[in-house]
Structures are given as structure tokens and as C-alpha cells.
Structure 1
Amino acid sequence: MANHTLEGHRFDAIPRQPVSHRALIGAVEGTLADFLASQTAALDAVDPALGNFARTARDLVLAGGKRLRPTFAYWGWRGVVGPAEPVDPVLPALGALELMHTFALVHDDLMDESDTRRGRPTAHRIFASQHGEHFGGSAAILVGDLCLVWADQLLSHTRLPAAALMEVRDRYDKMRVEAIAGQYLDVLGESDPGSWSVERALTVARHKTASYTVQWPLSFGAALAGGDRRVDEAYRVYGTTVGDAFQLRDDLLGVYGDPAITGKPIADDLRTGKPTTLLMLARRMSTEAQLAAFAAGDVAQRATIIAETGAPDLVEEMIRVRVDEGVAALSEAPIHPDAREALVELATAATHRPA
């Protein structure tokens, strides 16, 4: 695809001044929509079935979501370059993170056998309704793969000097490897929960979610700005701690969230036996009677027993401590004040959310 197809996106520029969250998300989604329109048209020209396949992938990408990864990457970039730089040259890179995220979600939903995501049927359920379960799983894998290829293609349209783009790509690749490694450990934990521990659950959370939600997007953003080693350590600490807190909140929402708000079925983690940090803490803090009741109970009873152990309160405290540590890491970092303020607000928004 030629670069000119990206240069005409609906959100031509974000003003060279403090930008609203809505304008940022609009610019990212406009870039994605234009890119996906051209990609879908190209596949549609080969065969109408491929066009339908691509449109399903497109709809999953554009179905909403928090858009946290491009948001953290933007503020990581903005913290280094300041408010005067136009964001247009880096919009393809920000959009690429959302395509990578869709790849991860589609595969994760298939592995977890989840029925809904963002209040809509998951990819494998969409395709299963057309030609059965086997087709649904196979097509979902291909949708995820397609989104990952699209992410690479869109990233290549970032208008940066070659040396800077190489550093961006290096951080992007490390992010992808960590996310896949974390996903493998997540699957392993469900298959071998007896060997799991609180510490290992935290390792899974850090690699599967925290690193590619906050830590690497921030680092990715700094690389888009040409890099600044002085901010790398502050971003690393902030990204790791806030990313951990994000996943800990996700653990709580997975058991006690409102499906009407989260868009996902309640208690999938309890149904599958996923050894999350919350569940591992609950087991560690349970009496023998509670462990026996947990093993024999249904999903609702298990959620009640976890609450009785005090594990949710401990997870809330872990979230608070991590957010405080992450915010403190920014206090002396040489980043622009508006970016510092935005990242402090994001730390709270990402870890104290209903969905």
C-alpha cells in the first residue's frame, strides 16, 4: 500500500497544543479506518469471501475499547518531544499497537473459549455461527494472524528517520515476544495449576498484560521521539508498576465485574481455573474448610469464598502501592509537565476502572 493512502485520513492533524483524549483517539481510529479500508478492498478484489473475512477483522479492530496502548505510547512520545511537535508522523505507529492488541485478544478469547468481548461475540463465535466450531477456531486464528501482519504494515508507514524507526521496531519486537511468552505461561498455568504460586502468577501478568499495555508502549513512544535514556528508567518503573496494577484490577473485574459494563462473561477465570494472582492469594489465605468448599462450589460460591479470605482487599492494596510507586517514578523524570500530569491521571484511570 502506498503512503498516500494514510496521508488522507479523516483527522488530518492534531493541533500543536495540549490535545484532548477524544482528539487523540479520533486521530488513531481515523488512521486505522483508512488503512483497514484499503486492506479490505484489496482482499475483496481477490475473492468476496476474503472481503468478508477482512471486514470481520476490521470490525473487531474498530469495535471500541479503551485504546490504552496508543494512549500510553502517545504520552511517552509527548513526554520527550513536548507539545509543539505534530503527531501526524507517528500516528501509524500508534495505530499499529491497536492492531497488535486485536491479534492478542482474538487468540486469547479462542484459548479461553470466551463468548463475548466488548459486549459482542468473539471472533471464533462469529465464524462458528457460519460453518461450525472447527471453522470458527481456524478462522479466528487467521484473523489474529492477519491483524499482526497489518500491524507490521502500518508501523512501516511511520515517518521517522531510519535509525529511529529501527529502535522503535526493536522495542516493538520485544513487546511482542513478552506478550506471547506471557500468554504461553497463562495457558500452562491453566493446565498445571498445582505448580503455580502468587509469584508465578505475577510473572505471567507482567509478561502477558503489563508489559504490552503500559511498559513497552511507553518505551515505544520514547523511541518514536528519538529516545532519551534519561526517561527510560522512569518509564520502565512507571510502566511495570502501573501495568501490574492494571492486570490486578483485571483479575478483580474477572470475578466481581459487571458483565454489562466489562462486555465479558463474569467469572471466566473461575470457570477455567486460571491461576490468577487473586486466586493464588485466596488459596494461600484460605482455611482447610474454605479450600474444600471452594473445590466443591459453583462459580458464585467460589467468588464468595474468595471474598471471605480477604484476598480482594489485599489485591486492592497491591494496586494502590504499585500506582503510588509508578507515579513517584515520574516526579523527577525529565519529561514535559503536561505529559507527567497526563500519565499520573492515566495511572488512576487504568487501575480504578469498571471495565
Structure 2
Amino acid sequence: MPTANTALVDRENLREGVDAALARHVASLRETVLAIGPDATPLVDAVERMLAGGKRLRAAFCYWSWRAHGGTPGDEREAAVLRTGAALELFQAAALFHDDVMDDSSTRRGLPTAHRVFADEHRTSQRRGEARRFGDGAAILLGDLALVASDEEMAHALAGLPAPVARAARTVFDLMRTEVTVGQYLDLVAQTMPWGDPADDERRARDVVRTKAARYSVEHPLVLGAALAGADEEALAGCRAVGLPLGEAFQLRDDLLGVLGDPATTGKPTGDDLREGKRTVLVARALALATQAGDTEAAAALARGVGDPGLDADAIAELTALLVRTGAVDEVESLIDELRSETFTQIAARDWPEPARSALVALAHATIDRAA
């Protein structure tokens, strides 16, 4: 994220408070794991590494929404908001551990993914059994461990809050986790489907964007912050109206960066989404535009290439050039612009006070206009 987002996360005890909550949880987890079996401590090390690389985006949306709906820095409810931010970070870690296994990703934030690290350690230690299966199994357990941790942290965050506030926040948190899990499955299903009707391909891609990424990255954290402030249903609906288009723009930008971004900045090899066969709006638009233009060669190359795990750098470059040549990149940029406009129109309709309004506006800009 750009420097603007970093500055917002560093303000008003936000990063410090979230990081402190995460550090406490990791320390407690380490004690528990050591008591169960010292051989399992690499699991705690892996969780700690994953948490260290987070941008705290979701925690920032939650915190500044709480401020926008009447939250006061330093009051008795701030600790609950910061611990909720930590729970969001732990849930994201769980989702990333599982996602990397399902996608067989090689890097995450510029470092080897957990399943690759555990497989390499298995291999170099000359252990029995298949290294890859061990690595995948360890990473699945890591995701489960982080998921349990997110639930524990959320329970601690809500303890002591007024019952209606705790119920409202818990409902949002539970829905978010269910949606991401279902969205991940829809993503898997989409990757198994043959390319067909362009409208259906894009509908399926947009469904995955909303359920797997948009709501959990922006909408639900915004609603959580408002719920923790005791906001009414009208205010929560306002958060949803802002969060969904902003979350969609966030993921569409991610899709563009996945094929056009600088790996040194994004922390992911260029073209991984194409090798994995991600059914993105970008690819759906490219196929639709190639078909409309009668460019059967481009359409066939895209349908054949997307999802081929053996694509080399030259093949990735050729597919990327097709995405640009068909006009799909420009169309996705236009769609991002539409979603940006809707986001800021919705923000303008909210009576959020300063400094929260400016903070959320800046966060929205940083979310859409980013290079990583």
C-alpha cells in the first residue's frame, strides 16, 4: 500500500495496538504449543511470519469506521476495536495459508509460501514420505490454527461489551468467515468450468470477487467498526454501500497487478494468476472482446493458456499482451473508475465526522490506487 495508508495505520495507536494484541496472542500460542509438543513450534514460527507481513488494511477500515460512528481514542471500548482488528488479521492469515495451498502459490509477500517452506524442510531433513504432501498438510493445519486464533481473539474483544453490541459485531464476523469460505469454493468451481457464455463467465467472476474478497476486505471491516460503536441499522447499511464497491475495486486492482504488477513490489511472481487459471473479470472481458471482434486466434490462445501450470515467462508475456490488445485491461480500469465514483458518492452521503472522514477517504484512495 502507498505511504498514505501506512501513515493512517500508524495514527492513534492503531498499528501499535493491533500489533500488541497479535504479539500477545502469538506468545500465548507458543506457550500452549510448547506444552503440547515442542516439535510443533515451527507452526507458531510460521504464524508469526505471516502476521508480520500484513498491511493492517482490514484493521484500519474497522478502526476508522468506529471513529466515524462516535468512537473516541483512549476510551474503554478502544481495546475491543483493536483486538477486533487483530482477529481480522488472524482470519486473513488463515485464509492466506489455505489459499496458497489450493493455488499452489510459490511466494507470498516476497517470501516462500508456508507449504513450500515445510516441504523444503522435509526434503532437506531426508524424512520419510512425500515432501509435498507434508508441506500441504502442515499449511492446512496452519490455516486451521490461525482460524481458531481469530475466533479466540474475537471472543476476547467482545467480552465485557454491551450484549446488543457484542451480538451485532459477532454476527458480522461470523457472516464474513462463512462468505470467504463459500467464496473460496466458488473460486475452485469456477476454475473447473469451461469457458462459455461471456456474460455468465463474468457473472461467475464477479460473484467470486464479492464473496471471497470485496466484502471481507472492506465491507465487513467497515460494518464491524460501526457495530462496535453501537451504530444503528441505517448506519450499518451506509457502511455496506461504501464497502462493497470499494472492495470490488480493491480486488479488480489486485487482478490487474497479478498480471501487470512488478513482482518486486507485489511480492508475487507475475503471471501466477494465469497459471492457476483464476477466472477473473479481466480474463472474462478479454475472451468476450476477442470473440466480439472475431479474433478466434486470440480467444483460443486465452482459453488454452489460462490455467496451464507449465506456462513459461514467454507464454505469460504473450497472454498478458493479449489481455492488453483486446482492450480488457482498459475496460477493467474503466470498471474500477466506475466503482471508485460510486464509493466516493456513497462516502459523500455519510455524515461521518473528522478526522475519520478524511482518514477513510484516504484509505479508499490508497486501496484503489496502489502498486502492491
- TM-score, reference length from structure 2: 0.87
- Give 1:96's match in structure 2, choosing from 87, 91, 97: 87
Q: How does 1:209-228 map to 2 (within 5 A)?
A: 209-228=213-232
What letter corresponds to residue 318 of structure 1 in structure 2? L
Whether the 8 Å contact between 2:62 and 2:81 is mirrored in structure 1 is no
Say whether residues 1:138 and 2:142 are aligned partners: no
What letter corresponds to residue 128 of structure 1 in structure 2? A
Q: How does 1:1-355 map to 2 (within 5 A)?
A: 20-22=8-10, 23-62=13-52, 64-84=53-73, 86=75, 87-131=78-122, 132-158=131-157, 159-195=160-196, 197-286=201-290, 287-295=295-303, 298-355=315-372
In 2, the alpha carbon distance for the partners of 1:68 and 1:46 equals: 33
In 2, the alpha carbon distance for the partners of 1:82 and 1:137 equals: 42
Deviations 1:117-146 (A, max 9, x none): 011111111111122110100110000000
Between 238-247 and 84-93, report the one with greater CA deviation.
84-93
Shift of 1:80: 0.6
Where does residue 11 of structure 1 map in the other structure? none
Whether the 8 Å contact between 1:215 and 1:240 is mirrored in structure 2 is yes
Shift of 1:26: 2.3
User: Percentage identity across aligned positions?
Assistant: 43
Unaligned runs of 5+ in 1: 1-18
Between 261-270 and 141-150, report the one with greater CA deviation.
261-270
Shift of 1:332: 2.5
Shift of 1:295: 4.9
In 2, the alpha carbon distance for the partners of 1:26 and 1:84 equals: 13
Shift of 1:256: 0.5
In 2, the alpha carbon distance for the partners of 1:257 and 1:334 equals: 36
In 1, the alpha carbon distance for the partners of 2:84 and 2:304 equals: 49
What letter corresponds to residue 68 of structure 2 in structure 1? G
In 2, the alpha carbon distance for the partners of 1:113 and 1:51 equals: 24
* RMSD of aligned residue pairs (Cα, Å): 1.6
In 2, the alpha carbon distance for the partners of 1:317 and 1:199 equals: 17
In 2, the alpha carbon distance for the partners of 1:295 and 1:162 equals: 52
In 1, the alpha carbon distance for the partners of 2:73 and 2:39 equals: 45
Shift of 1:82: 4.1
Whether the 8 Å contact between 2:8 and 2:359 is mirrored in structure 1 is no
In 2, the alpha carbon distance for the partners of 1:239 and 1:290 equals: 35
The DSSP-based 3-state class of the residue aligned with 1:335 is coil
Shift of 1:76: 1.4
In 1, the alpha carbon distance for the partners of 2:80 and 2:272 equals: 40
Shift of 1:43: 0.8
In 1, the alpha carbon distance for the partners of 2:267 and 2:324 equals: 22
Regions of 4+ moved over 6 Å: none
The DSSP-based 3-state class of the residue aligned with 1:81 is coil
What letter corresponds to residue 262 of structure 1 in structure 2? T
Whether the 8 Å contact between 1:77 and 1:221 is mirrored in structure 2 is yes
The DSSP-based 3-state class of the residue aligned with 1:315 is helix
Whether the 8 Å contact between 1:230 and 1:333 is mirrored in structure 2 is no
The DSSP-based 3-state class of the residue aligned with 2:350 is coil
The DSSP-based 3-state class of the residue aligned with 1:337 is coil
The number of residues matched between the two structures is 336
Shift of 1:88: 2.1
In 2, the alpha carbon distance for the partners of 1:84 and 1:133 equals: 47
What letter corresponds to residue 98 of structure 1 in structure 2? E
Whether the 8 Å contact between 2:227 and 2:236 is mirrored in structure 1 is no
Unaligned runs of 5+ in 2: 1-6, 123-130, 306-314
Where does residue 13 of structure 1 map in the other structure? none
What letter corresponds to residue 121 of structure 1 in structure 2? P
Whether the 8 Å contact between 2:71 and 2:229 is mirrored in structure 1 is no
Where does residue 311 of structure 2 map in the other structure? none
Whether the 8 Å contact between 1:230 and 1:334 is mirrored in structure 2 is no
Shift of 1:60: 1.5
- TM-score, reference length from structure 1: 0.91
Whether the 8 Å contact between 1:44 and 1:52 is mirrored in structure 2 is no
Deviations 1:11-44 (A, max 9, x none): xxxxxxxx95214122211210122111112211
In 2, the alpha carbon distance for the partners of 1:311 and 1:148 equals: 36
